[in-house]
Structure 1
Amino acid sequence: MIKTIEISQLRIGMYLHALPGNWTSHPFLRNRFLITAEEDIRKITDAGFSRLEIDTEKGADVHVASQDGGGENKAAPTAHGSSVTLAPVTFTETPASLSDELARAKVLISQAERLVRDLAQDVRLGKLVELDRVEPVVEGIVGSILRNPNALLVLLQLKKKDDYTFLHSVGVCALLTAFCRSVGLSAETTYHAGLGGLLHDIGKASIPDEILNKPGRLTEAEFDVIKTHPEAGHAMLARVPGLSPIALDITLRHHERCDGNGYPGALPGPEISELAKMAAIVDVYDAITSERCYHRGMTPANALAKMLEWSKVQLSDEHVRAFIRCIGIFPSGSLVRLASGRLGVVVEQNSENLLKPTVNVFFNVKSNTYIKPERIDLASSGAAEHERIMCAENPQRWKVEPHRFVEVGQMT
C-alpha cells in the first residue's frame, strides 16, 4: 500500500516508494529504497522534502514504526519469500585505491552474475523482471566505477570462457558505465545506461539453449532466431514499471549498425541514438575479447584495432575513438610484454599517455619463469628510461594466469 507521510514521520524500516523531484535532486541513486539508518533520514531531511511516499508492503507503516520506537532495521521482502536489506547508495566520487576497490569489485561481480542468472530463469518462467532487485546491483557497479574504474574492468577482462554467458551482461554494464562517465554524460543518464547494459541481453532467455550455446557456426535459420532477442527483450522490459526509455532503447538497439545492416530495425546511423551506438561498441568489445567454447578471445589491444577498422562502416568512428580514450590502448586487465622481456598485467591507466599505464610484472619470457611481482608506473621518469610496452600478449601462449597478479605480492 502506498501512503503519503510527513517528513517528521519517517523512520528506520520504512520503504520509500518515491522521493519528490528527479533523480539528481537528492543525494541518492534511487527514488525507492529501504531506510536503514538515521543518516538516511538526515540526508532526506537536509534535501528539503516535506512529504514522502512509502510502501507499507515492503517496509514499516507509520504506526508500526512508532511501536518499534523507530529504531528497528527492517528488511524489504523479495518475490522469492526471503528478505534483503536494500541500503541506499550515496552518489559520490570519493576515490579508492585499487586494492580496496578490488575486494568490493569481486563481491559485486559475484552478486551481479547471480542476479543475471536468476533473472534469465525468472523470464523463462514467465515472470516480470523486478526492478527493485536490479537497481542495487547497478548502483554498486556505478559506485565502483566512480571510485576506481580499474578494479571492475581488470577483473571482468580476466574472466574465463565458462563465465561468458552471464558475465557478458555484467561486463557491458560496467564498460558502458565507464564509457558514459568518460564522455561526461550526466549521473542520471549513466545510471540508466548501466541498467540497460545489465539487461540488454535479457531477450536471449527466450532463445533455445541448443542454439544459444551451439559450439559451432550457426546456420542462417539459427541466426535468424538469435536476431529475435533484442525485440524479445524489449517486449519483456516494456512491461516493467519504472524502467527508463534509455534502458529500453539500449536493449532494442544494441545490434543496430551505422551502415544500416544491423538488426532488428536496420536503422541508418543518424537514426540510432548516441547511447545505443555506445552500447553496440561495448557489446562488441566484450564479446570479441571473451573466451568461449567456440571462440578464442582477442587481446584487448587487437580487439580495439579491429574495431577501428569496423568504425569505417559499421560502428560509429567518433564513439570508437572515445571508447579507446576511455579504457586505454592497453586496457586494464591486458597482458603486455615490456622491452625488458617481462610480462605484466595492466592495472591502471594514465590519462595523459595511454601508452604508459601502470603494470604489475610477474613473468620473464627469456627464462620462461615467474619472477617476484613488481608494480611499474611506465609514465614515471625512472621507468621511461628503460621500459615500455612492446606488444600485447595472449596468456595462453605463455600459460600464465594474469588474474593472480592484479595485486602485487599475490604469487601463489
Structure 2
Amino acid sequence: MLRKILVCDLTVGMYIHEFCRPWVDDPFWINNVESLLQDAAVLERIWQSSTTEVWIDTARGLQPSVNSAAAAPGTQQEIPTVSDASPSTMNEELARARMICGRAKAAVIAMFSEAKMGRAIQSEDVDLMVEEISNSVMRNPHALISLSRLKTSDEYTYMHSVAVCALMVALARQMALSEAQVREAGVAGLMHDVGKMMISNAILNKPDRLTPDEFETMKYHPEAGVKILQENHHMTQAVKDVCLHHHEKIDGTGYPHHLSGDQISVFAKMGAICDVYDAVTSERPYKKGWDAAYSIREMASWKGHFDPMVFQHFVRTVGIYPVGALVRLKSEQLGVVIEQSSKSLLKPVVKVFMSTRTRMNVEPAVINLAHPDTRDAIVKFELAQDWGIGNVDALWSKSSVG
C-alpha cells in the first residue's frame, strides 16, 4: 500500500516509491527508480534536502510509527544505529550494488542532461550519490567495482562515470587519504567525463574506431567538461583538475596540455588509471572488453603512461587477479576469481568449474586459496576465448561464496 509521509519520518528499511516534488527537482540519484532505503548516510542526506514529503510502499518496507504523521518538517531525528558501512560479504554487497548501479545510471543520465542544457548540477545530489557509492565500497571494496564493469556498449558513457567514481573512492582509501579527500576523489570520478555531453552522439557511439579528425574532436571533452564545472561553484579545484587532466601521461605525451611527471596532480594521476582500467575492461561499440587480469598486466607494461607508485596502489585496490579473472590452478582446474583475500593478492577466492586436462566441466566448487589448509595455487591467468567460454562474468556475478 502506498502512503505519503513527511521526510522527517522516513527511516532506514522503508521502501521509497516517489518523492513529492516536481520531476526536475527530484534527487537525481533515485529519479524514476523505486528503492529500499538501506543507508543511514543516504537517509541523512534526504533529511537535509529541500524535499518535505515522500510516498512509501508499506507492503515492501517498514511502516511509519503511529505517531509519525504528527511530525513537522525539519524535526531532528537520531540517525538509525544500523551501520551503513559495516563489512559485508561479496554476495551480500552484490545485491546492494545492483540496486545502486540502477539508481546511479538514472542519476548520471539526469545529471549529464541537466549539464548539457546549461543547468547547474545540484551539489547535494552529487554528494548523496557519491556517499552511497562510497558506503558500498567501504562495506566490500570489490562488489560495486566489479559489477559496474558489466555494462553494455550503449550504457558506457553513463556507467563509466559510476565505475570510475567507485574506483577512485577505493583507490583513495587504499592510499590512506582522508575521508574528505576520499569523497572529493569520488566526485572527481563521477564528473571526469561530463564534457562528453558536448560531443555528438555520432562520435560517442560510433561502432568503429574514430578517424583522426573525430579523435581530435573527442579530445576536446576535458576542456568542455571544465567549462561546465566552472559554472558550478561548489565543484572543487581538484575535481576540475581531474576533469581537465585525466588524459595526461607521465611522459608528457597526453592531452590537452602535455603535462609530465610532477606537473600532474596526484588526483589526476589516479583519475588516469581508473579511467583507462574501466575503459579497457568494458564493452565498447567497436571492441570487446579485456579480461580484468590481462588489463592489469597490459597497463603495467605501458611505460611512461601512469605514475608507478599510484599504479602500485591501484593494483592493491583491484587485485593482481581482480574479481572476474579467469585463472588456471595447480590442481589442473580452471576457475574464476569471485572474491579478493585480505591476506594476499595472490590468493583470492576462486570458483572452479572446468578441468584443464579434459576441458570438461566439473561440479562447481569454491576454493579459498588463502585458507591455511588449502594447498592449491594460481599458476597463471587465462583468456576466456582460448577455452571457448562465452560469459565468464555470469560465473562470478551469480556465485555463492558461502
Same fold (TM over 0.5): yes
Superposition RMSD in Å: 3.2
Aligned-residue offset at 1:71: 5.3
**Could you tell me how far apart the structure 1 residues matched to 2:387 and 2:221 are?**
35
What residue number does 1:34 align with?
Answer: 46
Aligned 8 A contact 1:112 1:170 in 2: yes
**Residue matched to 2:61:** none
Is 1:198 aligned to residue 199 of structure 2? Answer: no
Task: Count residues in correspondence.
Answer: 349
CA-CA distance at 1:397 after TM superposition? 4.5
Is 1:399 the equivalent of 2:389?
yes
Q: Distance in 1 between matches of 2:311 and 2:377?
A: 28
Q: Which residue of 2 aligns with 1:390?
A: 380
C-alpha distance in 2 between matches for 1:221 and 1:116: 28
- Taking the aligned partners of 1:173 and 1:124, their CA distance within structure 2 comes to 20
Paired with 1:270 and 1:246, the residues of 2 have a C-alpha distance of 15
Determine whether 1:371 maps to 2:372.
Answer: no
SS, match of residue 373 in structure 1: strand
Name the CA shift for 1:122/1:182 in 2 (closer, same or farther; >3 Å).
same
Which structure 2 residue ranges, 5 or more long, are not aligned? 1-6, 11-39, 54-67
Conservation of the 8 A alpha-carbon contact between 1:179 and 1:326: yes
Secondary structure of 2:374's match? helix
1:231 alignment partner AA? E
Letter in 1 for 2:331: S
Distance in 2 between residues matched to 1:283 and 1:88, nearest whole Å: 36
Per-residue CA deviations over 1:206-226 (Å, capped at 9, x if unaligned) read 101111222223222211111
Residues 162 and 339 of structure 1: CA distance in aligned 2, closer, same or farther (over 3 Å): farther
| Partner Cα distance (2:187, 2:82) in 1 | 17
For residues 379-405 of structure 1, give each alpha carbon's deviation from its aligned partner in whole angstroms, at most 9, with x where no partner exists.
Answer: 223322x44343232368523423333
TM-score, L = length of structure 1: 0.76
| Residues 163 and 89 of structure 1: CA distance in aligned 2, closer, same or farther (over 3 Å) | farther
**Residues 399 and 30 of structure 1: is their aligned pair in 2 closer, same or farther, counting only changes over 3 Å?**
closer
- Note the 1:210-225 alignment, pairs <5 A: 210-225=202-217
Matched, 1:236 2:228: yes
Question: What TM-score, normalized by structure 2, do the two folds share?
Answer: 0.77
| Mapped partners of 1:89, 1:244: distance in 2 | 32
Counterpart check, 1:362 vs 2:353 = yes
Residue identity opposite 1:317 in structure 2: P
Select the residue among 354, 372, 382 that pairs with 1:381.
372
Q: Does 1:104 align with 2:116?
A: no
Q: After superposing the two structures, state which structure 1 stretch, 388-397 or 117-126, moved more.
A: 388-397
| Counterparts of 1:73 and 1:101, CA distance in 2 | 32
Q: SS of the counterpart of 2:295?
A: helix
1:293 match: 285
- 1:326 alignment partner in structure 2: 317
Inter-partner Cα distance in structure 2 for 1:89 and 1:218: 52
CA 343–165 in structure 1, closer or farther in 2 if over 3 Å, else same: farther
1:316 aligns to 2:307 (yes or no): yes
Distance 2:169 2:222 in 1: 20
Paired residues of 2:45 and 2:128 also in contact (CA < 8 A): no
CA contact (8 A) 1:374 1:408 kept: no
Residue aligning to 1:79: none
Give 3-state SS (helix, strand or coil) of 2:100's partner: helix
User: Where does residue 141 of structure 1 map in the other structure?
Assistant: 133
What amino acid does structure 2 have at the position aligned with 1:388?
A: I
Deviation, structure 1 residue 338? 2.2
The residue number in structure 2 matching 1:22 is none
| 8 A contact 1:299–1:334 mirrored in 2 | yes
In the alignment, the residues of structure 1 paired with residue 178 and residue 247 of structure 2 have an alpha-carbon distance, to the nearest angstrom, of 24
Q: 1:153 to 1:250 in 2, by over 3 A?
A: same
Written as runs of structure 1 = structure 2, the 5 A alignment for 1:1-400 is 33-35=45-47, 58-59=51-52, 69-70=70-71, 93-310=85-302, 312-384=303-375, 386-394=376-384, 397-400=387-390
Question: 1:335·1:395 contact (CA, 8 Å) conserved in 2?
Answer: no
Stretch deviating more after TM superposition (213-222 or 185-194): 213-222
Q: CA deviation at 1:133?
A: 2.8
Could you tell me which amino acid in structure 2 is paired with residue 153 of structure 1? I
CA shift, 1:193, in A, is 0.8
Opposite residue 238 of structure 1, the aligned amino acid is: Q
Summarize the Cα distance change of 1:361–1:89 in structure 2 as closer, same or farther, 3 Å threshold. farther
Amino acid at match of 1:121: S
Q: Separation in 2 of the partners of 1:163 and 1:371?
A: 34
Check 1:377–1:175 CA distance in 2 against 1; reply closer, same or farther (3 A cut): same
Q: Is the alpha carbon distance of 1:379 and 1:395 closer, same or farther for their aligned partners in structure 2, counting shifts above 3 Å?
A: farther
Structure 2 residue matching 1:401: 3-state secondary structure: coil
Q: Distance in 1 between matches of 2:109 and 2:361?
A: 36
Q: In structure 2, do the counterparts of structure 1 residues 32 and 379 end up closer, same or farther at CA, with 3 Å as the change threshold?
A: closer
Unpaired runs of at least 5, structure 1: 1-9, 14-27, 36-53, 61-66, 75-86
Q: Alpha-carbon deviation of 1:117? A: 2.0
Distance (Å, rounded) in 2 between the aligned partners of 1:328 and 1:223: 32
How far residue 256 of structure 1 moved from its aligned partner, in angstroms, is 1.3
Measure, in 2, the Cα distance between the counterparts of 1:158 and 1:11. Answer: 36
Asked if structure 2 preserves the Cα contact closer than 8 Å seen for 1:161 and 1:293, the reply is yes
SS of residue in 1 equivalent to 2:270:
helix
Residues 116-164 of structure 1 show CA distances to partners (whole Å, capped at 9, x for unaligned) of: 2222333333333223332222111100110111211221234444432
Query: How far did residue 254 of structure 1 move?
Result: 0.7
Give 1:261's aligned amino acid: T
Corresponding residue SS for 1:383: coil
Q: Secondary structure at the match of 1:157?
A: coil
